[in-house]
Amino acid sequence: MNAVNWFEIPALDLERAFAFYSAVLHGNVRKGTFGNGELILFNVPFNTGEAVGGSVVVRPDLKPTTDGGIIYLNAFGKLADAVGEVENAGGKVLAPEINLGKFGFAAIVIDSEGNKIGLLSQQA
């Protein structure tokens, strides 16, 4: 069991958010639909229970924020490569590299929608 089993990151503009996450996570996102709405899904095997799934969504009850907890996303490769794409993709880097010892490396960024998120990798 995982402590987290699904997460949603709010967006104001789904196309802009798709461009951001596609660039920063090296294409490891895809567009999808659920009900009547479009969303962005992360390319992890959440349907089989092997990974925690999540999405980026535009919903009237969710607003992007830099307050509250931080969701850490897999950087899908070297952390420096992902961080290097953040500003070009419309985001802002707050902490480019945090050494977590045996847990790898993390960065804190603001995405294109105004959310504070973390990026996590075993490779600096």
What would the pLDDT profile of 18-50 be if each residue is shown by its tens digit? Answer: 999 999 999 999 999 998 899 999 999 988 889
Residue 114 region, left (φ>0) first, then alpha (ψ -120 to 50), else beta?
left
Query: Residue 51: pLDDT band by 50, 70, 90 thresholds?
Result: very high
Q: Record the tokens describing residue 6, joined without a space.
A: 């699904």
pTM over 0.75: yes
**Domains of the chain (ranges plus CATH)?**
6-121 (3.10.180.10)
DSSP annotation of 124 reads -
Query: Is the Cβ–Cβ distance between 98 and 107 less than 8 Å?
Result: yes
